Amino acid sequence: MNYGLATPWALALLPLALLPLLRHGQQTLGYSSLAMLPRDGLSDLVDGLVRVVAMAAVIAMVFGIGGLFRAAESVERIGQGAQTVMLLDSSGSMDTAYATGTANTSRAAVWGTYLSKGQVARRMLAEYAAQRPQDMFALFVFSGNPIPVLSLTEKQSAIQAAIAAGGIERGLASTDLGTGLIRSLEYFKDQPFTGSRVVMLVSDGAASLTIPVQDEIRNLLRKYRVSLYWFYLRAQFSPGLDTKMSSDTASQIAPEQLVHKFFAGTGVPYRAYSAENPNALREAIAEVNKLQNLPIRYQDVIPRRDLSARCFGVALALMAVLLAAKCTELERWH
Amino acid sequence: MRAWRRPPALLLLLACVLLAASFGAPHVDLERSIYRYVLVFDISQSMNVADVSAGDTPLTRLEFAKQRAQEALKSLPCGSEVGLALFTGHRAFLMMTPIELCANFSELSGMVTRVDWRMTWEERSEIAKGVFRSLELLRGFKDSTRLVFLTDGHEAPPINPDVKPAFAGKVGAVKGVLVGVGGARPVPIPKLDAEGKQHGDWKAEDVMQVDSFRADENQREGRGAAAGTEHLSSLKEDYLRGLAKETGLDYLRLDSSAGFMRALTAPAMGIPRHQATDIRWLFALTALLCLCLSLLRVTSKDAPASSSRA
């Protein structure tokens, strides 16, 4: 355990603790012949005690003035949470209007006057993370190149700030879903397996995956035993994930249907949630709750704790003793 | 006079009252400076030039900027808020809105460590536009935030001097500092692959030597590509100074850690905020004085200390 002072120069007052040794501050009485008085052991003891109490009071006050604190320390905690990597599509297509909404909001083309798919996505992720405070989250943003924003952490302030950041401005250029997925799976590389790993893909899926990329994604998903959830954000005029159309047609007008088909065939737990469904978020949270959670170990930091109030408390108790002693002092010989 | 009514006893009583009162959390409202920044890292390719150094080891401009930023994270006072963004193309991409530094130190530090040129989304570096748009971004924040933009000032493609990007925002609405990183001598820019391995340097014919408008004109009129030195890169200090002046920012050439900290904590970078300031220490100090005074008080000169009775 480490202790420190917020304002160390307060220690300059510490020599005052010697004052009770030099000055007793007690009421003195004239006596005709001191030499005739026998030494009184009890008086010496009381005198000594009063001085020690006064010294201790000075020291307690000086440490209180200096702002004594116990330094922040890192402790290992055991939690029950899942490890979730949020993989957020930040391509230009996510800037277009989200499928639901009134004619006024979804037809507007001026950025900032409508709710884009990306903003809906970030709102959902923020809500999801807020409802699972025991989980660890990482955030990956992908566009042309994947951008690892935040590695696994349980700190909600950091998670929420990272989710909020990308929603303020427009998204970036292109989409490379494959590389984004592969790089985000690498977050699990050196992490111990705890029973529940989730990749939460939030995308409109307007991307195609080549066969070698599909193979690598399938391998990594199986290797790291990841459950895959896809929050699908339908564009205004997209047919959605579940229409029956031929692969050729789908690759032309709705490539997300092919991506959906590929994910469903990877052999790992996979669910797609349509963000249009108001219950999607609740369903996803219920699904994650069902996963077998092994305890996970993680480092938690206990922030610095101010101990000056305790110093003042000790000083107050000691001062009360001194005051009591003072009140018993004799004014004159009776 | 009764014992408790004598001055020493009254002083001790006063000290007790003051100490007890300190538990009522006495405070005064003071105006204090707090710090809130968004650090923007230029991750364009010219930042891969290794023409700066910390100590003896040569570093790339980006590594040097990251290193100084890490040191600043360690030195800034708790309560400061830091956000991070990347710049390439013509805009900054915000990765993290400002969060409290000490509580989130490992996250912020980890993010700075991972900043890499490979996160790029566009192979251009239009710095003026990037600075202007970053200022607009920060102006939209709920709380006032200072911009710290770390760049070498190398515009690619070069700017047409007749149609410079103009700052449309309000000068000085968002304060901050443009931080110049790099050496004064023009040197080649390394060509790196996705693994970070170098494959030679960018050559004169690989890059645009003039802006795209003039390049098109040259091609139309059969003049051939213009010659130039745009494939070499140095810190464009005069250019960044001009940009800083145009936007009401400060300019600093990144050098020592101490210099960077001075720029970050300059009076103009502080954000005044009324803050309840703890004054328990004042109560305790007065109590301490009371105790000392009560000890110093001597009522009778003729009696030696050792014989007094409690």
Question: pLDDT digit string (tens) for A273-312?
Answer: 876 666 776 777 777 777 656 676 766 667 778 899 999 9
Is the CB of A325 inside 8 Å of chain B's CB atoms? Answer: yes
Q: Are residues B247 and B174 in the same domain?
A: yes
pLDDT over 90 for what percent of chain A?
12
Residues in chain B: 310
Q: Are residues A110 and A47 in the same domain?
A: no
Which one of B100, B121, B307 has the shortest CB-CB distance to A172? B121
Q: Is residue B69 part of a domain?
A: yes
Q: With cut-offs at 50, 70 and 90, classify the pLDDT of residue B284.
A: very high
Q: Are residues A55 and A139 in the same domain?
A: no
B226 in helix, strand or coil? Answer: coil
Q: Are residues A194 and A232 in the same domain?
A: yes
Q: Are residues A174 and A238 in the same domain?
A: yes
Q: Is residue A234 part of a domain?
A: yes
**How far apart (Å, rounded) are the C-alpha atoms in residues A232 and A177?**
13
Mean pLDDT of chain B: 85
**How far apart (Å, rounded) are the C-alpha atoms in residues A95 and A91?**
8
Q: Is residue B96 part of a domain?
A: yes
pLDDT over 70 for what percent of chain A?
73
Phi, psi of A87, deg, nearest 5: -115, 110
Q: Is residue B233 part of a domain?
A: yes
Residue B307 has pLDDT above 50, yes or no: no
Is the CB of A53 inside 8 Å of chain B's CB atoms? Answer: no
Task: Compare all CA atoms of chain B with the CA of A138 and give the residue at the minimum distance.
Answer: B107
**How far apart (Å, rounded) are the C-alpha atoms in residues A134 and A160?**
14
What pLDDT is stored for residue A113 in this prediction?
59
Q: Is residue A105 part of a domain?
A: yes
Q: Is residue A34 part of a domain?
A: no
Q: Are residues B191 and B115 in the same domain?
A: yes
Q: Are residues A84 and A14 in the same domain?
A: no
Q: Is residue A333 part of a domain?
A: no
Q: Are residues B243 and B125 in the same domain?
A: yes
Q: With cut-offs at 50, 70 and 90, classify the pLDDT of residue B302.
A: very low
Mean pLDDT of chain A: 79
Q: Are residues B95 and B241 in the same domain?
A: yes
Q: Are residues A132 and A233 in the same domain?
A: yes
What pLDDT is stored for residue B108 in this prediction?
92
In this prediction, residues B260-265 reach a mean pLDDT of 92
Q: Is residue B310 part of a domain?
A: no
CB B6 within 8 A of CB B116: no
Q: Are residues B113 and B220 in the same domain?
A: yes
CB B93 within 8 A of CB B86: yes
Q: Tokens for A97, please give them.
A: 């209007």
Lowest mean pLDDT among A44-48, A98-102, A130-134, B176-180: A98-102
CB A208 within 8 A of CB A258: yes
What pLDDT is stored for residue B259 in this prediction?
92
Is the CB of A190 inside 8 Å of chain B's CB atoms? Answer: no
What pLDDT is stored for residue A95 in this prediction?
66
**How far apart (Å, rounded) are the C-alpha atoms in residues A201 and B152?**
36
In terms of C-beta density within 10 A (0-12 exposed, 13-18 middle, 19 or more buried), how is residue B28 classed?
exposed
Q: Are residues B156 and B287 in the same domain?
A: no
How many domains does chain B contain in total? 2
Q: Are residues B62 and B151 in the same domain?
A: yes
Tell me, what CATH number does A259's domain have?
3.40.50.410
**How far apart (Å, rounded) are the C-alpha atoms in residues A132 and A303?**
22
Q: Is residue B309 part of a domain?
A: no
How do residues B226-236 score in pLDDT, each as one tens digit? 677 788 888 88
What pLDDT is stored for residue B150 in this prediction?
94
Q: Are residues A48 and A90 in the same domain?
A: no
How many domains does chain A contain in total? 2
Which one of B23, B98, B287 has the shortest CB-CB distance to A309? B23
Residue B167 has pLDDT above 50, yes or no: yes
Residue A101 has pLDDT above 70, yes or no: no
Q: Is residue B4 part of a domain?
A: no
Q: Are residues A53 and A14 in the same domain?
A: yes
Helix, strand, coil percent content, chain A, rounded in steps of 5: 45, 20, 35
In this prediction, residues B136-149 reach a mean pLDDT of 90
Cβ contact (<8 Å) for B303 and A50?
A: no
Q: Is residue B228 part of a domain?
A: yes
A12: which residues sit within 8 A by CB, 6+ positions away?
none
Instruction: Provide the residue range defining the domain that includes A54.
Output: 3-28+39-72+303-327
Q: Is residue A33 part of a domain?
A: no
Q: Is residue B54 part of a domain?
A: yes
What pLDDT is stored for residue A121 in this prediction?
78
Q: Are residues A43 and A65 in the same domain?
A: yes
Q: Are residues A285 and A229 in the same domain?
A: yes
Cα dihedral A53→A54→A57→A59 (10° resolution): -110
Task: Compare all CA atoms of chain B with the CA of A173 and give the residue at the minimum distance.
Answer: B121
Which one of A30, A155, A166 has the shortest CB-CB distance to B107? A155
Tell me, what CATH number does B181's domain have?
3.40.50.410
Residue corresponding to tokens 């007690």: A26
Q: Is residue A95 part of a domain?
A: yes
Distances (CA, A) of A92 to A89, A118, B120: 9, 9, 15
Q: With cut-offs at 50, 70 and 90, classify the pLDDT of residue A103.
A: very low
Q: Are residues A114 and A157 in the same domain?
A: yes
Q: Is residue A119 part of a domain?
A: yes
**How far apart (Å, rounded) are the C-alpha atoms in residues B309 and A28?**
7
Q: Is residue A279 part of a domain?
A: yes
B227 C-beta neighbours (distance < 10 Å), count: 10
Of A192-196, A297-301, B54-58, the range with the highest mean pLDDT is B54-58
Q: Are residues B21 and B127 in the same domain?
A: no
Cβ contact (<8 Å) for A24 and B95?
A: no
**How far apart (Å, rounded) are the C-alpha atoms in residues B58 and B71?**
18
Q: Are residues A186 and A265 in the same domain?
A: yes
B161 in helix, strand or coil? Answer: coil
Q: With cut-offs at 50, 70 and 90, classify the pLDDT of residue B36.
A: very high
What pLDDT is stored for residue A311 in this prediction?
94
In terms of C-beta density within 10 A (0-12 exposed, 13-18 middle, 19 or more buried), how is residue A39 classed?
exposed
Instruction: Provide the residue range defining the domain that includes B256.
Output: 30-274
How do residues A216-245 score in pLDDT, each as one tens digit? 999 998 888 888 888 887 766 666 676 666
Q: Are residues B79 and B93 in the same domain?
A: yes
Q: Could you tell me how many CB contacts below 8 A there are between chain A and chain B?
A: 204
Q: Are residues B139 and B42 in the same domain?
A: yes
DSSP of A164-213:
HHTTSS---S---HHHHHHHHHGGGTTSPP-S-EEEEEEE-------HHH
CB A213 within 8 A of CB A178: yes
Lowest mean pLDDT among A293-297, B97-101, B207-211: A293-297
Q: Are residues B101 and B190 in the same domain?
A: yes
Q: Are residues B70 and B16 in the same domain?
A: no
